Amino acid sequence: MDDQFVKENLEQTKQLVARAVMRAEEHNKEVTLIAVSKTKPSDLILEAYQYGQRDFGENRVQELLKKQQELPKDIRWHLIGHLQTNKVRQVIGKTTLIHSVDSLRLIEALQAESERCGIVTDILLEVNAAREASKFGFFPEELSDIVQLLSKTRNLRVCGLMTVAPFTENSEDNRKYFRQIRQIAVDISAKNIDNISMDTLSMGMTGDFEVAIEEGATMVRVGTGIFGERDYRLEQ
Ligand SMILES: *Cc1c(COP(=O)(O)O)cnc(C)c1O
């Protein structure tokens, strides 16, 4: 197979990221590009790795663990999909960042398991800004209680917020949600709560990452734009 497309897509995506950073308010900030590799085989991931990509995102625990075994050890693995509490034990200690922390029950399970392993787990809180019934995440008004609680969980470190904006043909439609997430982060930061940082904003996917960066994203999660369309029939 001709895998040259991964290199080209990666380079193009990086350029678009860099240009969007220039348009953003704080144009000296760093944006981490996460290559979302779900459903894609390890040899394609290795292709991206060889072109310097180190941050990869998966949304299933099993798939992440399998690829982690097969691929170089210096890859930073991001868990970006909904995490069931019964999978917490398997994944704890294996991730650079868990983006999709979306319930109190999950917070409790992550804290308990991190404590048992004697580690501190870095997390983001997922926010359902558009209040879509089909999506996970806290509603914006729930966050202030949640962060108060997290200021006391010694084995979890809150690094910021994550959102999955609605699917849309026009990325401009999502600008308001990205702006809202950024404002929430600013407001929480201003409270100077122990153990809570709002430095990381994981928002933007293939269809809308440029708008997300303009509105303050520090991590973007790009799958299709790097690896091409996904074929879910091939999923293990
Ligand atoms: C699949 C997925 C992505 C990447 O989506 P693309 O549109 O292919 O870039 C980003 N974030 C999450 C949470 C995902 O599940």
Distance CA 35, CA 48 (A): 8
pLDDT value of position 1: 52
Q: Does any ligand 1 atom lie closer than 6 A to the CB of residue 144?
A: no
* pTM for the predicted model, two decimal places: 0.96
Classify residue 233: in a domain, yes or no: no
Which domain does 154 fall in, by range? 5-227
Q: Which residues of the chain have pLDDT under 70?
A: 1-3, 27-28, 233-236
Q: Report the domain count for the chain.
A: 1
Classify residue 234: in a domain, yes or no: no
Classify residue 210: in a domain, yes or no: yes
Distance CA 226, CA 100 (A): 21
Which tens digit of pLDDT belongs to each residue from 37-90?
A: 999 999 999 999 999 999 999 999 999 999 999 999 999 999 999 999 999 999
Classify residue 216: in a domain, yes or no: yes
Query: Which residue of 60, 169, 205 sits with most ligand 1 atoms within 8 Å of its CB, as the best mutation to test the pocket?
Result: 205
Classify residue 82: in a domain, yes or no: yes
Classify residue 58: in a domain, yes or no: yes
Nearest ligand 1 atom to the CA of 80 is: 13
pLDDT value of position 236: 44
Classify residue 235: in a domain, yes or no: no
Classify residue 205: in a domain, yes or no: yes
pLDDT value of position 4: 86
CATH of the domain at 143: 3.20.20.10
Distance CA 124, CA 114 (A): 15
pLDDT value of position 28: 67
Q: Does any ligand 1 atom lie closer than 6 A to the CB of residue 224?
A: yes
Short-list 172, 103, 163, CA closest to 130: 163
